[in-house]
Amino acid sequence: MAKDELKTGYRLIGTRPDRPDGLDKVTGRARYGADITAPGMLHAAVVRSPHAHARIIKIDASKALALPGVKAVITRADFPTGLTGEDWNLQENTMAGDVALYDGHAVAAVAATTKLLAQDAALLIEVEYEILPHVTDVDAAMAPGAPAIRPGSADPSVPEGMHPNVIRYIDFGHGDLAAGFAAADLVREATYKTEATHQGYIEPHACLGQMGADGRGEMWVCTQGQWYIRRMSAAVLGIEAANLRVTPSEIGGGFGGKTTIFMEPLSLALSKKAGGRPVKLVMSRSEVFRATGPTASTSMDVKIGMKKDGTITAGQVYFRMQGGAFPGMSPISEALQCAFACYDVPALKHEAVEVLANRPKAAAYRAPGSPMAAFAVESMVDELCRELGLDPIATRLKNAARNGSKSSFGPSYNQIGLVESLEAARAHPNYAAPLGPNQGRGVASGFWMNHGGETSVSLAIGEDGTVGVMVGTPDVGGSRASLALMTAETLGIPYENVRVNIVETGALGVNEPTHGSRATFASGKAAVEAARQAIGEMCRRAAAEWGIDADAVEWKDGAAHPAGPNAGKFPPLTIAEIGASMGSTGGPISGHHESVPGGVGASFGAHVVDVEVDPETGRTTVLRYLVVQDAGRAIHPAYVEGQYQGGAVQGIGWALNEEYVYGTDGRLQNSIFLDYRVPVASDLPMIDTVIVEVPNPGHPYGVRGVGETGITPPLPAMASAIAAATGARLRSLPMSPPKVLAAIRAKGRG
Amino acid sequence: MVEVNLWSGLRRLTDGAQVVSVEGTTLREVLRNLAVTHPALEPTLKSGVSVSLNGVIETNLSTPISAGDEVYLIHRVKGG
């Protein structure tokens, strides 16, 4: 049921007011990372390795430094030594040490008085390399004879005998696998592959850093998490976190790719070397593709057993994932936890390995790991359904995880909305729409567990009763609106009377980034608690004014009221009246809440897509697309729908066109949007959405994070739709026209 | 005693046990005692795990806990 049809009793929750950042963004007033300037500012350029794997023999910057206007050149020699663990990995990725590990790896950086001069100077920095053998494919990287990229990196979990590029191993499961497969009427197994894809945010990475000889610095940056930027940059530069203040700019998309550092410490190190002058560093699109984190590429084995009635009796997966030349970047844990999360299966086995390859350091990308896992498992479920003549939604409902079922990764589910989502998808007109020649329908379900994380929020009542809310989670997808709605609902005041500000690292306790679909959940929960604290104080002020006990005061409709006839008869004191008199009643009125909120609610969804495939070209056209997902409670339904649509579109791009293409030389071949094809509006129909609401009991308004689940089902749903349209099952992404055409011809139908 | 479910990969650190019984009346006590009774688990616990208590990720270590509660240690995940 769509949110707008529900009667929740809320005044504001579930309405669609104007977005608070709308005017700034459409008029160009919003300040993004590259818009920040400062007096005396320098511009930076980065020298990057043209080789996938090469030893750095010598760096000669003398010609660059001789150019008038060049103020500083840095190499790894300008960074502190002795770092360990992830701090060392961050430093190593920020600036290569002895070895360049991928095409695009930074090896030097220069600051100059203009951007063009900095770029010219970068060309004059001479780097001598000894080229080393490289490997970029995940299966090739763990095959005998593959070059060992970082020997000795494997953790103790890796079984003996595996290639040194295999650095982590995970397994878990439950039930009697052999008995489960023996009980099935049909057992099928296959291998599926996905390529690395980039988050594709519109705004390239950009920052302005300033650091003096005293080691105290400032940074303005487009990021999903200013405290992460502070902690990571401080670690890489060997300074104390408190000596770096980080202010987030407006952000033009992140999708996980802006939860870490890539080049930010370079601007600070250049600034320090240039006598403290601020240094701006803005990546080109090519640099974004070559040197910031895409997601992992995968190779995945899946085996599932099913009875004739659709009951899944057993499942087994073995995932191989590479996330570049740095450990810890392949989302194998997440992929395994999501693989069978939509199902209640008596016997499951999960295994995965993380593999190093000569590619850039991967970063989180919207539900990291889940889309790949879904592509493998949901595609195989569809293959079994088709072979047994079963309805794909009915089969998913038959095996669906429900309230109280043991999840595939162990714990029991609390209150979840998978069944409601599948039933809503089945009831939607799209599921009954007639299909023509060369057209097919695909269905898939999806899951993301969502996240809480460190959260700190402050709120202040103004002298006129309006309210400022200070939060630490950058507004990537509409959280200012949802936080303002929840705050206004709690305080009983108009939405327009609340302004939500995204603040710098000096203004609040540590906040995790806007990631894990947590901003509306976690910052929202904290904002509600902060508002309740302020309400308590305003009730105490009213009680003092009336000379009654604070317990005899209640808050409703934006004002303090005597609580019942025994409290006495007093006219209500509004928030504006209390705010106006705060100077004489005890001083400023504020609320604050900080926690690592529990009660995170997982979000399930189901997608239905119809496609038409041109049998002569292999081109796939999306005819209609439906996203159904459990939001818990949609605070601002338009933003929820936007998240659903955005996730679906990114997933469609991943399924059809997007991929990192490496040449035999290990260099990235398609590092601009002309060659890396993302879907644009003219490629797609309007994405239909249905918001299911199974409220999360762990949030005061029932919120579940909604940002990530939507990218999970499109990969298998698209593959199944193409299989239905052509009879050809593609198990390797992307399903670009040449691959689809080849598959059609292989089936003898072309 | 509280039964703590571990993911399979931790079995090598617990002499093959996937479910271990630990004393404790709060989550904090259970995790501390787990590190005492199975010291090989300490690095994993220190590096960060998520704890699912009766189906909900619980972050407040002072949360009371008793025999019969469902406790799972799971890999810590965040997201994009």
What is the torsional sign of CA A672, A676, A682, A685? negative
CATH architecture designation of domain A369-450+601-746: 2-Layer Sandwich (3.30)
- Between A120 and A157, name the one with better pLDDT: A120
Beta bridge partners of A184: none
List strand residue ranges (DSSP E) for chain B, in order: 2-5, 19-22, 49-53, 56-57, 71-75
> Exposed, middle or buried: residue A332 (CB in 10 Å: 0-12, 13-18, 19+)?
buried
Tokens of A276: 């403290």
Confidence of residue B78 (pLDDT cuts 50, 70, 90): confident
Q: How far is CA B52 from CA A469, A581, A685, B59, in A?
A: 31, 47, 41, 9
Domain presence at residue B80: no
Cβ proximity of A532 and A603 under 8 Å? no
Q: What is the pLDDT of residues A138-154, one digit of tens each?
A: 999 999 999 999 999 99
Contact criterion met (CB < 8 Å) for B79 and A173: no
Cβ <8 Å between A171 and B55? no
Q: Which residue has the tokens 């497969």?
A: A181
CATH number at residue B43: 3.10.20.30
Question: Tokens standing for A660?
Answer: 């990192």
Q: Could you say which of A173, A412, A698 has the minimum Cβ distance to residue B8?
A: A173
Q: Which of A361-365, A470-474, A562-566, A571-575 has the lowest mean pLDDT?
A: A562-566
Structure tokens at A307: 């009875």
Half-sphere exposure of A667 (CA within 13 A, CB side): 10
Separation of CA B20 from chain center = 9
B-chain residues within 8 Å CB-CB of A334? 75, 77, 79
Task: Kindly report, residue by residue over A18-36, the tens digit of the pLDDT.
Answer: 999 999 999 999 999 999 9
- Asked whether residue A250 carries a pLDDT value surpassing 70, the answer given is yes
Backbone angles phi, psi at A692, to 5 degrees: -90, 140
Could you identify the residue written with the tokens 């997601």?
Answer: A295
| Contact assignment for A453 to B78 by CB distance below 8 Å | yes
Please name which of A295, A67, A292 lies closest in space to residue A196, comparing C-alpha atoms.
Answer: A295
- C-alpha distances in angstroms, A623 versus A248, A684, A738? 40, 8, 20
Average pLDDT over residues A398-408: 96
Instruction: Tell whether the model's pLDDT for residue B6 goes beyond 70.
Output: yes
Question: What average pLDDT does this structure show over A622-633?
Answer: 98
List phi, psi (to 5°) of A380: -65, -40
Place of tokens 């990631």: A515
User: In this complex, do A597 and B74 lie within 8 Å of one another by their Cβ atoms?
Assistant: no
Looking at chain A, the whole-number percentage of residues with pLDDT higher than 90 is: 96
Say if residue A475's pLDDT is above 70: yes
Is A455-595 a domain of CATH 3.40.50.2300?
no
Strands A217-221 and A244-248: parallel
| Residue B58, domain member (yes or no) | yes
For residues A103 and A482, what is the distance between their CA atoms, to the nearest angstrom?
A: 41
| Cβ separation A256–B79 shorter than 8 A | yes
Query: Closest to B57 (Cβ–Cβ): which among A364, A365, A600?
Result: A600
Chain A segment 188-217 residues within 8 A of B by beta carbon are 199
Q: Predicted confidence band at A3 (pLDDT cuts at 50, 70, 90)?
A: very low
Q: Which SS3 state, helix, strand or coil, does residue A495 take?
A: helix
Contact B80 A333 (CB under 8 A): no
Contact between A412 and B55 using a beta-carbon 8 Å cutoff: yes
> Taking a contact as any Cβ pair under 8 Å apart, which residues of chain A between 429 and 458 contact chain B?
448-453
DSSP string over A670-683 = --STTTS----GGG
Residue B17 lies in a domain: yes
Strand duo B19-22 + A603-613: pairing: unpaired
Q: Give the pLDDT of residue A269.
A: 98
The pLDDT assigned to B8 comes to: 72
User: A156: cis peptide before it, omega within 30°?
Assistant: no
Domain residue spans in chain A?
Answer: 369-450+601-746, 455-595
Closest by CA position to A263, among listed A246, A293, A283: A283
Buried b (16+ CB within 10 A) or exposed e, A234-263: bbbbebebeebbbbbbbbbbbbbbbbbbbb
Question: Are A320 and A299 contacting, i.e. CB atoms less than 8 angstroms apart?
Answer: yes
Q: Write out the E strands in A215-344.
A: 217-221, 244-248, 279-282, 297-306, 312-322
Q: Does the residue B8 lie in any domain?
A: yes
Residues A358, A149: Cα–Cα separation, whole Å: 7
What ranges make up the beta strands (E) of A283-423?
297-306, 312-322, 348-355
pLDDT at A750: 47
- Round to the nearest angstrom and report the end-to-end CA distance of chain A: 42
CB A317 within 8 A of CB A191: no
Quick one: average pLDDT of A558-580?
95
What is the band of A749 on the pLDDT scale with cuts at 50, 70, 90? low
Domain span including residue B6: 2-75
* Residue A1: predicted pLDDT: 41
Contact B52 A368 (CB under 8 A): no
Please enumerate residues of B whose Cβ is less than 8 A from a Cβ of A.
5, 7-9, 52, 54-60, 70, 72, 74-80
Q: A454 to chain B: nearest residue by CA?
A: B59
Q: Tell me whether domains A369-450+601-746 and A455-595 share a fold.
A: yes
Closest partner residue to A598 among B7, B9, B60, by Cβ? Answer: B60
Per-residue model confidence as pLDDT tens digits over A444-453: 999 999 999 9
CB pairs under 8 A between A and B: 97
As a whole number of angstroms, the distance between CA A574 and CA A422 comes to: 46
pLDDT tens by residue, A683-698 = 999 999 999 999 999 9
Burial of B25 (0-12, 13-18, 19+ CB in 10 A): exposed
Identify the CA nearest to A103 among candidates A67, A129, A75, A78: A129
A77-80 long-range contacts, CB within 8 A, separation 24+: A78/A269, A78/A273, A79/A236, A79/A237, A79/A238, A79/A265, A79/A269, A80/A237, A80/A238
* ipTM value for the complex: 0.90
Measured between CB atoms, which of B74, B75, B78 is closest to A516? B78
Residue A338, pLDDT > 70, answer yes
> Are A411 and B7 inside 8 Å of each other by CB?
no
Sequence-distant (6+) residues with CB within 8 A of A77 are none
β partners of residue B72 = B5, B52
Rounded CA-CA distance A211/A148 in Å is 38
- Which pair of structure tokens corresponds to residue B7? 């993911």
What is Dmax (Cα atoms) for chain A?
88
Q: Hey, what are A635's tokens? A: 């605070």
| E strand spans, A222-334 | 244-248, 279-282, 297-306, 312-322
Per-residue confidence (pLDDT) for residue B50, from 0 to 100: 86
Residues of chain B contacting A333 with CB distance shorter than 8 Å: 75-77
Phi, psi torsion values for A686, nearest 5 degrees: -60, 130
Please identify among residues 479-508 of chain A the ones whose CB lies closer than 8 Å to any CB of chain B: none
As for how many domains chain B has, the answer is 1
